[in-house]
A = this chain, B = another copy of it.
């Protein structure tokens, strides 16, 4: 099994957080919510889901996790205001371990300055930001480039989760 950090802040997209987390756990993986303040509860933008932050970025090391998962909504816009969130993300991506990114997640990756030369997908509003960051925007349900697996929107979740779980099963021993 793998230990996955879900990087989550206020106004995350409810289903983009909840569905993959449910599926990751169902497959036997552990999910830890990493955010700005340990013990705080952050809310989904649609008011349907909540997430309790288990650990702050200042309390964790990239070595603690086998993968990171970045849900969309406005959570990435909140997280990228925090220098510890940005440096953790940058270091994690550079480590080569798996990064699962959906919807607005590229915003955090752009501020972490790790997209140059990469192929990635995401929510259509950030297409120009992705291109300006030196990456290629690919309009597909799932895009895999090196350690980054990305998807565009809630309707991509089934294919996104499948690709993430496949990657985890290739890298880490089954439970």
Residues of A within 8 A of B (CB): 74, 77-78, 80-81, 107, 110-111, 113, 124-125, 127-129, 132-134
Contact = CB atoms under 8 A, between A and B. Distances in A.
SS class, residues of chain A in contact with chain B = helix
Of all A-B residue pairs in the complex, the 6 with the closest CB atoms, nearest first, are A132-B132, A111-B128, A129-B129, A77-B125, A81-B125, A132-B133
Nearest to A86: B128
Nearest to A76: B125
A77 B107 CA distance: 12
Contacts of A129: 107, 110, 129, 132-133
Q: How many copies does the complex hold?
A: 2
12 contacts: A74-B74, A78-B125, A80-B125, A81-B124, A107-B125, A107-B129, A110-B128, A110-B132, A111-B127, A113-B128, A129-B129, A132-B134
A129 B107 CA distance: 8
Contacts of A77: 125
Nearest to A111: B128
Contact of A111 (B81, B110, B125, B133): B125
